[in-house]
Amino acid sequence: MVLEAKYFGQYQLRAVERAGAFSFDTSGISNRFITPNGDGRNDSVVFTFENQRDSEVKGRIFDMKGALVADMGPGPVANSLIWDAKSGGSPVAGGVYIYQIQGEGKTHNGTIIVIK
């Protein structure tokens, strides 16, 4: 369900089943389209996941050829990772990128689009 408030913007309401171990699904992605132009909106993407055991979770970004672009950093809330559309401190080119999140022997992949 999406809720739009006149003064506070748009929010998503989600129901999530609590897992006993690491789990991730696409509802934990803040946005799939990144517009890193410095306006404070959609400049980065946050990946939120369940991690009841506080296991090590890694996130990486790859280009469409499979080359490593960046490692994700710790996100703004517990059990989250963030990518700011940069590689080595420099902004990446617009295009499609592959995310990979790994924890407890599980790997989740998908795509993120950077729009310039």
Q: What is the pTM of this model?
A: 0.80
6-24: burial string, b at 16+ Cβ within 10 Å, e else: eeeeeeeeeeeeeeeebbb
Dihedrals phi, psi of 19, to nearest 5 degrees: -100, 160
Residue found under tokens 């295009």: 95
The stretches in the chain having pLDDT less than 50 are none
Residue found under tokens 């592959």: 98
In one-letter notation, the amino acid at residue 56 is E
- Spell out the domains of the chain, with CATH numbers in brackets: 22-114 (2.60.40.1930)
The answer to whether 57 and 109 have CB atoms below 8 angstroms apart is no
In one-letter notation, the amino acid at residue 97 is Y
CB neighbours of residue 90 within 10 Å? 6
CB neighbours of residue 45 within 10 Å? 25
Give the angle 52-34-13 at the CA atoms, nearest 5°.
50
pLDDT digit string (tens) for 42-71? 999 999 999 988 899 999 999 999 999 999
